[in-house]
Amino acid sequence: MDGYEIALAAHNSGGKVIAQVREERPSSELRSREVLIPGQLVDHVHVVPDQWQTYLRNYDGLYAGLSKANQVQDAPEPDDAARLIVSRRGAQELMRGGILNFGFGMSADVAAILARDPHSEDYWRTVEQGLHNGVLLGGNLFGISAGPNAIVSSAAQFDFYSGGGLDQSFLGMGEFDSHGCVNVSHLGGRLSGPGGFIDIAQGAKQVIFCGRFNGKGAELALKDGKLCILREGAIHKAVANVHTVTFSGAEAVKRGQRVLYITERAVFQLTPEGVELIEYAPGIDVYKDVLEQMDFKPIMRSPKLMPAACFTTSLEKEIA
């Protein structure tokens, strides 16, 4: 994404820089302000006329910001019950007029819902790759925007995030604990690293974490506006203490952040006293399907049903 920074680091560390390009042109045809990597940083040039723009498709000016996309999209909703519920519930938290960020995973489904909203231009949408607005793509093409309004370097984007420029960030979560901490970087014995998660989560005024309540083998069904738990997952994601703290609940309380943890069967919020259960899905037994599946006891004051609109769908098949 940031070719200049990568080339600079390699060159100044004694490495070799190879630039793959689609075509070569005389320097006299190039406009100086459009040159991102000065020639002295490049050791070799490899011309590939049919190089792809992404690993899934050839070049399209839409993804280079050279044309604009229709903001109202007809992309289908997720065919996974958990993702469907979480994305719909997350979308109800969208702050109109706010500056938003979307991360990879279930949180990206919230951006897909927003893309179908005829008022999507009322929200300023960003991703860490340096893209502003346009239609944020999901799945394997997450991190790309069709018809963005602006493209800045990822490094500059993180200056904006770290400086507190975000009103809301929608992020995935691997596991969360009684202190409101979240782990996304070290799960199941595998170290994946935090990526830009820490900078984004610490800088946003509101953080909405999106993820499954349980993992590994959970089977769910949606029927008549209710959630049915057909088989429990083998892994609890609500744990007493996260394995690795990628997001600190205590620090979030100090910063005065509003923090939500949205799953398909319950919604929690961070309070100065700890994590509070504020909503639960229609059709489930709160004690059997939520509390007994957690490794800590959340604060309970007066939890209410999650909005019915999150469960209205024609999806009736069982979802693994």
- Residue 109: which residues within 8 A CB-CB, separation 6 or more? 78, 83, 84, 86, 87, 90, 138, 210
Per annotation, catalytic residue among 128, 175, 264, 279: 128
203 bridge partner residues: none
219 catalytic? Reply is no
Interior/surface letters 273-294, b for 16+ CB within 10 angstroms, e for the rest: ebbbbbbbbebbeeeebbbebb
- Count other C-beta atoms under 10 Å from residue 309's C-beta: 12
Sheet of 238-239, strand order: 182-183, 175-177, 238-239
Burial of 31 (0-12, 13-18, 19+ CB in 10 A): exposed
Number of H helices, E strands in the chain: 6, 23
DSSP string, 224-241: TTEEEEEE--SEESEESS
Q: With b meaning 16 or more CB within 10 Å and e meaning fewer, what string describes 79-95?
A: ebbbbbbbbbbbbebbe
Report helix, strand or coil for 282.
coil
Q: Which residues are catalytic?
A: 128
